Structure 1
Amino acid sequence: MHIDIISVVPGLLEGPFSHSILKRAEEKGLATVRVHNLRDYATGKQKQVDDYAYGGGAGMVMMIEPISLCIETLQKERTYDEIIYMTPDGETFDQPMANALSMNQNLLILCGHYKGVDERIRQRYITKEISIGDFVLSGGELAAAVVADAIIRLIPGVLNDETSALTDSFQDYLLAPPVYTRPAEWQGMEVPEVLLSGHEAKINEWRFEASVRRTRERRPDLFAKSGLGESDKKSNKK
């Protein structure tokens, strides 16, 4: 997978892609992330990328020309499956969306900034608009890093344990069950006996039931999407 990210503040993205899983993904040749400074595509001494909004009001708007030039320059190098705009009014990002995007080969992400981009950019180039939640950040850079991380970790071979991503929270609309490690007893608190039994079927049953219980208690909205009614839970216990 190749991901290009267009940013007004590219320095914000240096850390996330230089460590841990994302770094290993690039070292393995499984994913490449390139950050492009929008100011490199601006004209004039000031390298201006924003201007006042027509109609007045507070805040500046990202200009058409630098964004258009950047996108079209990158499009000469590859064909993008999606051109994504990170914006508070986009579709809320979730695990099913991450799963779907992880199947793509080339993605381009435009980070919003200031009061956003000129609407004509969205109409001409953008194929998908994404929000990571109902709140506002200073820019789309951190949101783009979140999306890229969630996508890249799903690529086969990125994680050491191939089954790890499949058992994460939100897969199948369920939260992950509690997890434990050594020591088996700590300050009077013990690991559930079934996890020490070595009985794979019973362990899987416990984990499923714990996952269902945790989701129902903490995220009833998510549990409703899982389709796990009383009859479904009973059948899964068999």
Structure 2
Amino acid sequence: MITVTNLSVAYGEVLAVADVSLRVPPGCVLAVSGPSGAGKSSLLWAIAGAVRASSGTVEVDGLTITDRPAAAAHGVVLIPQGNGLARVLTARENLSMPLLADRALTAVLARRDEDDDEEREHTLDTIDGTIEKALKDVGLEDSGDHLVEELSGGEQQRVAVARGLAQQGRAILADESTSELDSTNRERVLELLRREADRGAAVIIATHDPNVAAGADGHATMDEGRLSWERRL
């Protein structure tokens, strides 16, 4: 469950998100549309803990989100606009980074020794399998060893989606994640995000595409930081 209550985000004198409240239950997909600069990205980044709220609160499954590390540890996955990939790494390496970081954080929180070779090998095998499945799901199973800079813009966007899917989060925040895709791959990605909701995640998609909005369970619009409902969840 994503619960946003009276959330505002300001950059100096500019109010990017203005007193927004919404709830997205597990298993639901919310589309948020609006013109460039309307506040969609700022809303998603604030929910992900990557942007500090000026006022209001964000909760995911009852946990108040205050910063990005806490949000990530709690299963809040952000698929950023512009993909956010490390260009000097391969597609597969980009997928592995958050999974390995999550494994290390889990071990620290559990005060567990990571030096068990058998357990380490099993965990790494599981991570490898998760990565291969995510790449296959977005149609890039043969591109895992390609450097990001060797991929097209649409392929990079699909790698970013695959990285998000591989994390199997409680909340999935997709910021314009279909903007550079052709119709076939756009439908593929939307089906995968729907599958994440069917798994039990709460999903929010920021989009300019009316077809994406039409296929979501709920649809809200933003303009000058303010949110209004076209179709409530």
TM-score, normalised by the number of residues in structure 1? 0.24
Structure with the largest fraction of strand: 2
Asked which structure has the greater CA Rg, the reply is 1
